[in-house]
Amino acid sequence: MKRYIDILKKCNVGAFFVRDISDKSVELFFIKRKLDMRRMKDDDSAEIIVYKDMEEDGKKFRGSATVNVNSTMSDEEIEKKVKSAEYAASFVKNPFYEFAKPVKSDKRIQESDLNNYELSEIADKFVEALYSEDHDEKAFINSFELFVKEREVHMVSSEGTDVSYVKRSVWGEFVAQCKEPQDVETYKNFEYDTLALSDLKDLVKTTLKMTADRAIATKMPKAGKYDIVLADAYMSEVFNYYGERAHVAYVYPGYSDFKVGENVQGDEIKGDKINMKFGVSVPFDSEGIEMKEREFITDGVLKTLHGGQRFSYYLGIEPIGTYSKAIMQAGKVSMADMLKKECLYVVNFSDFQMDALDGHFAGEIRLAYYYDGKGNMECVTGGSVNGSIFDTQRELVFSSDMQKRANFEGPKACVFKNVSVAGE
Partner 1 sequence: MKVKESSYIRKNKPLFRKLVDELLKKYEYASVFVNDSMGKNYGVSKTGTNVAEDDLYTTRGYVVKVYDGGCYAEFSDNRISEEEIDKVVSLVSGQLVNLGKSAEKSQYKVPADEAVSFSKSTECVIDPEEFGDEAIVKKLTELHKKGMAYDEKVLNCSVRISFQRYSKLFLSKNKDLEQNVMWSSFAASVNTKRGSEVKTSYYSGSILGGMEILDMLDEKVEKAAKVGLELLDSEPIKPGEYECVCTPEVTGMIVHEAFGHGVEMDMFVKDRALAQKYVGEYVASPLVTMHDGNAVDQTATYFFDDEGTLSHDTVVIDKGILVNGISDLQSAMALGTEPTGNGRRESYERKAYTRMTNTYFEPGTDKVEDMIASVKDGLLLEMPFSGMEDPKNWGIQCMVNFAREIKDGKLTGKIFSPIVLTGYVPDLLKSISMMSDSKELGGAGFCGKGYKEWVKVSDGGPYIKAKIRLG
Contacts to partner 1 from residues 114-173, by CB under 8 A: 120, 123-124, 127, 142-143, 173
Hey, which residues between 190 and 209 contact partner 1 (CB under 8 A)? Answer: none
Q: Using CB atoms within 10 Å of the CB of residue 291, give its burial: 0 to 12 exposed, 13 to 18 middle, 19+ buried.
A: buried
Hey, which residues between 49 and 88 contact partner 1 (CB under 8 A)? Answer: 63, 65-68, 70-73, 84, 87-88
Interface with partner 1 (CB under 8 A), residue from 14, 40, 104, 372 = 40
Nearer to partner 1, 3 or 360 (CB): 360
List Cβ neighbours of 86 (8 Å cut-off, separation of 6 or more).
Answer: 11, 13, 50, 52, 65
List the alpha helices (DSSP H) in 246-382.
Answer: 248-251, 309-315, 335-338
Q: How far is CA 319 from CA 98, 249, 297, 372, 377, in A?
A: 10, 12, 18, 49, 49
Q: Is 195 in contact with 189 (CB distance < 8 Å)? A: no
CA distance 140 to 150: 30
CA distance 405 to 407: 5
Interface with partner 1 (CB under 8 A), residue from 58, 358, 374, 375 = 358
Binding flag, residue 423, partner 1 (CB under 8 A): yes
What minimum distance in Å lies between the beta carbon of 423 and partner 1? 7
Site string for partner 1, 286-325 (x = CB under 8 A): ------------------------xx--------------
Q: Could you tell me which stretch among 21-29, 156-164, 190-198, 340-348 binds partner 1 (CB under 8 A)?
A: 21-29
Of 321, 326, 323, the C-alpha closest to 155 is 321
- Determine how many CB atoms are found less than 10 A away from the CB of residue 421: 22
Hey, which residues between 391 and 410 contact partner 1 (CB under 8 A)? Answer: none
Of 344, 414, 421, the C-alpha closest to 387 is 421
Q: Express the helix, strand and coil content of the chain in percent, nearest 5 each.
A: 25, 45, 35
Q: Could you tell me which stretch among 32-40, 286-294, 330-338, 402-410 binds partner 1 (CB under 8 A)?
A: 32-40
Instruction: Please state whether beta strands 162-178 and 108-109 pair in parallel, antiparallel, or not at all (unpaired).
Output: parallel
Q: Is 307 in contact with 248 (CB distance < 8 Å)? A: yes
What minimum distance in Å lies between the beta carbon of 252 and partner 1? 6
CA distance 320 to 315: 13
What minimum distance in Å lies between the beta carbon of 374 and partner 1? 26
Q: Could you tell me which stretch among 179-187, 190-198, 294-302, 317-325 binds partner 1 (CB under 8 A)?
A: 179-187
Interface with partner 1 (CB under 8 A), residue from 30, 165, 370, 371 = 30
| Total of residues contacting partner 1 (CB under 8 A) | 85
Hey, which residues between 234 and 263 contact partner 1 (CB under 8 A)? Answer: 249, 252-255, 257
Which contacts qualify for 53-60: CB closer than 8 Å, 24 or more apart? 53/14, 53/15, 53/96, 54/90, 54/93, 56/93, 59/95, 59/96, 60/95, 60/96
What minimum distance in Å lies between the beta carbon of 62 and partner 1? 10
Hey, which residues between 85 and 104 contact partner 1 (CB under 8 A)? Answer: 87-89, 91-95
Nearer to partner 1, 164 or 381 (CB): 381
What minimum distance in Å lies between the beta carbon of 357 and partner 1? 4
Interface with partner 1 (CB under 8 A), residue from 6, 9, 14, 36 = 36
Interface with partner 1 (CB under 8 A), residue from 205, 294, 303, 360 = 360
Interface with partner 1 (CB under 8 A), residue from 9, 10, 38, 292 = 38
Interface with partner 1 (CB under 8 A), residue from 111, 350, 372, 377 = 350
Q: Is 354 in contact with 241 (CB distance < 8 Å)? A: yes
